[in-house]
């Protein structure tokens, strides 16, 4: 079997078109532009490239967008003060603080300081709790993108055996919680695996849908999956440079080996990555719409 490639680039572009129309309508009817601020501390190359892409997309979609670059040694207080300013800025509907933060800044404290109504990452405990009880306001962007990719590719989630590898607060935990809900695009039986899992292959071989956010290049090999599995690869591992000087990327699954066994698979790059950025835009539109009550 040769797997169908689930193109995040294509699905993201469909969703961006939908967002573009919504933004135009918001401007025409309510004279409001979705406002997004992205805050980055330091110059971590991966973070810089993510934030640059987020800003570029926001601008292309007609958002009011602001980029805040803070030095690596900025104090925690200065960062919290900046967040407080944007919490109270009516032109800003979404605040994104790119993670990870330098060690001297308490990440939890920063996340707690966000106005939950502007927390377009969905990381604030109020939003995490709402997600858990099936009352989500903002789905975290990567899990939201994964769910949309599955739904828009007509993959049956209802009743499926979903195995998630990875238990981060950004991907593993929220995607598991989303797909287990009794709702459309969910209602799956979900197993979570992590570094403490005794026999990883035992679990991954049972998956109808395998979602891998392990943070290790090619951690999932062909012998660890069953024929016909749907594979969502969240990994972005930098494994060198291309001759053009760009970062060479690979995922957390061995794509070349799995593509002959899976029924559908996401590539890296061009899979989950473009979806994450797009879902951030969708969350920002949602935040802006709630301000005008639509």
| Chain positions contacting ligand GUN, by CB under 6 A | 96-99, 121, 141-142, 170, 276
Single out the catalytic residue among 55, 117, 118, 121: 121
Give the shortest CB-262-to-ligand GUN separation in angstroms. Answer: 25
Structure-block tokens of residue 55: 């800003």
- Which one, 96 or 232, has the nearer CB to ligand GUN? 96
β-pairing verdict for 161-165 and 64-70: unpaired
Q: Output the CA–CA distances (angstroms, integers) from residue 79 to 46, 54, 118, 130, in the order listed.
A: 20, 20, 16, 26
β-pairing verdict for 237-241 and 247-250: antiparallel
Alpha-carbon span 86 to 250, nearest angstrom: 36
DSSP 8-state assignment for residue 281: H
Single out the catalytic residue among 98, 118, 254, 261: 98
- Which one, 2 or 52, has the nearer CB to ligand GUN? 52
Annotated active-site residue 98? The verdict is yes
- Which one, 171 or 225, has the nearer CB to ligand GUN? 171
Alpha-carbon span 20 to 28, nearest angstrom: 12
- Which one, 65 or 276, has the nearer CB to ligand GUN? 276
Annotated active-site residue 199? The verdict is no
Give the shortest CB-109-to-ligand GUN separation in angstroms. Answer: 15
Q: Are 230 and 250 in contact (CB under 8 A)?
A: no
Alpha-carbon span 267 to 18, nearest angstrom: 23
Give the shortest CB-18-to-ligand GUN separation in angstroms. Answer: 21
Alpha-carbon span 219 to 240, nearest angstrom: 18
Annotated active-site residue 54? The verdict is yes
Single out the catalytic residue among 54, 118, 173, 218: 54
Give the shortest CB-276-to-ligand GUN separation in angstroms. Answer: 6
Active-site residue numbers? 54, 98, 121
């Amino acid at each position: 079997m040769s797997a169908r490639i689930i193109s995040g680039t294509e699905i993201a572009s469909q969703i961006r078109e939908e967002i573009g129309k919504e933004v135009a309508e918001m401007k025409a009817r309510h004279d409001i532009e979705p406002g997004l601020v992205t805050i980055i501390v330091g110059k971590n190359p991966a973070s810089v490239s993510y934030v640059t892409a987020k800003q570029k997309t926001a601008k292309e979609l007609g958002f009011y967008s602001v980029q805040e670059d803070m030095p690596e040694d900025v104090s925690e207080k200065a960062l919290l003060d900046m967040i407080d300013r944007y919490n109270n800025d009516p032109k800003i509907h979404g605040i994104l603080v790119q993670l990870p933060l330098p060690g001297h800044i308490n990440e939890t404290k920063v996340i707690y300081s966000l106005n939950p109504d502007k927390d377009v990452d969905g990381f604030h405990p109020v939003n995490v709790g709402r997600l858990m009880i099936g009352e989500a306001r903002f789905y975290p962007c990567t899990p939201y993108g994964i769910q949309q990719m599955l739904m828009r590719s007509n993959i049956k989630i209802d009743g499926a055996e979903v195995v998630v590898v990875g238990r981060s607060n950004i991907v593993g935990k929220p995607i598991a919680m989303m797909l287990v809900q009794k709702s459309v695009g969910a209602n799956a039986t979900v197993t979570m695996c992590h570094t403490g899992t005794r026999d990883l292959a035992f679990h991954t071989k049972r998956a109808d849908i395998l979602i891998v956010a392990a943070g290790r290049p090619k951690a999932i090999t062909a012998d660890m999956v069953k024929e016909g599995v749907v594979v969502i690869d969240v990994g972005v591992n930098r494994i060198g440079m291309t001759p053009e000087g760009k970062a060479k990327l690979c995922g957390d699954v061995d794509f070349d080996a799995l593509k002959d066994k899976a029924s559908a698979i996401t590539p890296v790059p061009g899979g989950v990555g473009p979806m994450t950025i797009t879902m951030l835009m969708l969350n920002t539109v949602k935040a802006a719409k709630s301000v005008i009550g639509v």
